Amino acid sequence: MLKKHKLIFIAALLLLLAGGGLLIAKRRQQAIVPSSPPSSLANEEAIDPNIKVDEGRIETEQITPVSQNMVNLVFLGKGGEDHDGGGLTDSITLASFNYGQKTIKLIAIPRDLWYNNRKINAAYSSEGSSGIKNNLGQITGLKVNYFLAIDFDNFISAIDALGGIDVDNPKTWEDNFYPVKGKEQELCGFTPEQNAELNRKYTGFTLEKQYVCRYEQLRFDKGMIHLDGVTALKYIRSRHSAEYGSDFSRGERAQAVLLGVGKKLLSQNLLEAQNPVLKQLAGLVATDITAVAMSQILQTLGNLSAYTIKYTNLTDQNVLVGGTGPKGAYILVPKAGNNDFSSVREFCLE
């Protein structure tokens, strides 16, 4: 059975992220409309040819991450066993609780960020929770104390357990190429001969777009929208919107969904430890937070309504630049130079 402290702490975290009208959101202006890097299916013409990274490991200067008056947690979203690359954490949000300044900073980490000779989204599957926490500490300058991880299926279950959530969508946007699970190899009416000809003629995403039956169309209107579990996952994962399709935009949408979850918990009075919905939510996440630590952290944080939420997104509009990694993969590296995260840390610590 889940311990009472665990239930309370998870609810408190969601409430902190949500604000529920009690916290003031201050969003960095430069992070609102970043340029769009190519998605995993896009061709590589948009990659900056001047930034290249070789296979060899480059040692980075090790720093001692900041931890004074802070509790820092990383929230990880991954596909799970039934998805290609299911161990990769394509959604990474670092939440820094500064109980000295009474602030909560949400830092969106792009999955293509290159560190330690790989993309940061592979750190959790390669080195586990300690690996991703250590990596993020060196990147952001913030000591990461704990992690919470959830896969796609559990995410859907969590949103549905709440009866769906309401999200303030900042703009109207569409995605005509959201992949339909199970149709990845469909020929969409093409004969084997036609299929072979398409593969000779096209490559990359241009090839994929020929198979329209593999995709569905998404549309989200500006303003408050209601999302069930399946739709909330689509809202976060969508990659091919001309208006709002970059990986940086996905980070913003993940933050918006977290806000929607917290607001729903608050509005429906779901914060009692014995509430069955809260118990279900607590059982859907993996974490290394102990019951003793939970109690201590809650006591240290104190009055939640006194905190201010701030948003920080690492993008190519501030401290990062797009480049080419091994085998032509799209990556993001610091503008200061590959493996020079000094300016990134300064940005995160502002």
Q: Say whether 108 sits in a helix, a strand or coil.
A: strand
Q: Quick check: is 110 in a domain?
A: yes
Same domain, 298 and 253: yes
Q: Quick check: is 337 in a domain?
A: no
Q: Quick check: is 331 in a domain?
A: no
pLDDT along the chain (350 residues), means of 10: 43 45 34 32 36 56 86 89 78 91 91 94 94 96 93 91 93 95 94 96 94 97 96 93 88 83 74 68 81 78 80 93 90 92 95
Q: What is the pLDDT of residue 26?
A: 36
Which amino acid is residue 314, in one-letter code?
Answer: L
The two tokens of residue 242 are: 């001309």
C-alpha distances (whole Å) from 9 to each of 16, 231, 264, 292 are 10, 27, 16, 11
Same domain, 309 and 286: yes
Range of the domain at 181: 173-220
Q: Output the pTM of the full model.
A: 0.79
Q: Which CATH number covers residue 292? A: 3.40.630.190
Nearest-angstrom CA–CA distance, 301 and 73: 14
The two tokens of residue 177 are: 């190429």
Q: What is the pLDDT of residue 311?
A: 86
